[in-house]
Amino acid sequence: MRNPMRTVGKAYLLVLVMAASAVAQSRLQSGPSPAVAGPAYDVSVGYSYLSMPISSAGRAGLNGLDSSASIALSPRWGATVDSSYLRTSGVLSTPHQGYVLSLQGGPVFSLIQHRNTRVFVRGLAGGALVDGAVPVSDTSYFHGWLLRPTYTLGGGFERAVSGNLALRVNGDYVRTTFYDTAGSTQAQNNLRLTVSFVFRLKQHPHRYSAQVR
């Protein structure tokens, strides 16, 4: 498990370094960012909450970090790579910790884009490592980990708060896989909410160019 954790740690560090660079550049500019041609890029980091169903036992709440890197090929279409690590110290009534480590990518489509606000939908696919526990009785439980393909369908909105900084809220349906009480694999229908800061490294001409008043 150390290697995946190190990889995620390096990814978060890279996002933070890129974000700091974007903020530093925005402070050096005395006016609005000039219009540029070509794809637009951004990175984000923020807080995420996942409601994960446990077979025959209810739902567990997991909290953690989410980071992403996106490219907008046009004002409507783009793509994103998303990584998250969410955990809980105890799964429902068991003393076993649980976590979900995921890495996904896919297309993003902007439904509405007006001044400083954007509404979008997205579809992602990749892999997820799920570690958890399933209560078998009042005194015993089954636990383990499972690495399987996963996909996400969702959407959200962004609101620019400055030239290079925006606030993004995502709501997603996340499909993962874990064991049931018999030890067989079973699909999980998770709900995830993410609030993050977006650092725009490069913008499309006239996109979010209006200053926040």
Residue pLDDT, tens place only, 155-198:
999 999 988 999 999 999 999 999 988 888 999 999 999 999 99
CATH architecture of 2-202: Beta Barrel (2.40)
Residue appearing with tokens 């509405």: 112
Rounded to two decimals, the pTM is 0.78
Residue 35's pLDDT band (cuts 50, 70, 90): very low
Domain residue extents for the chain? 2-202
For residue 11, which of 65, 72, 63, 62 has the smallest C-alpha distance?
65
If one counts every other C-beta atom within 10 angstroms of the C-beta of residue 206, the result is 9
Cross-strand partners of 105: 81, 125
Residue pLDDT, tens place only, 83-138:
999 999 988 888 899 999 999 999 999 999 888 899 999 999 999 999 999 888 77
Quick one: DSSP state of residue 17? H
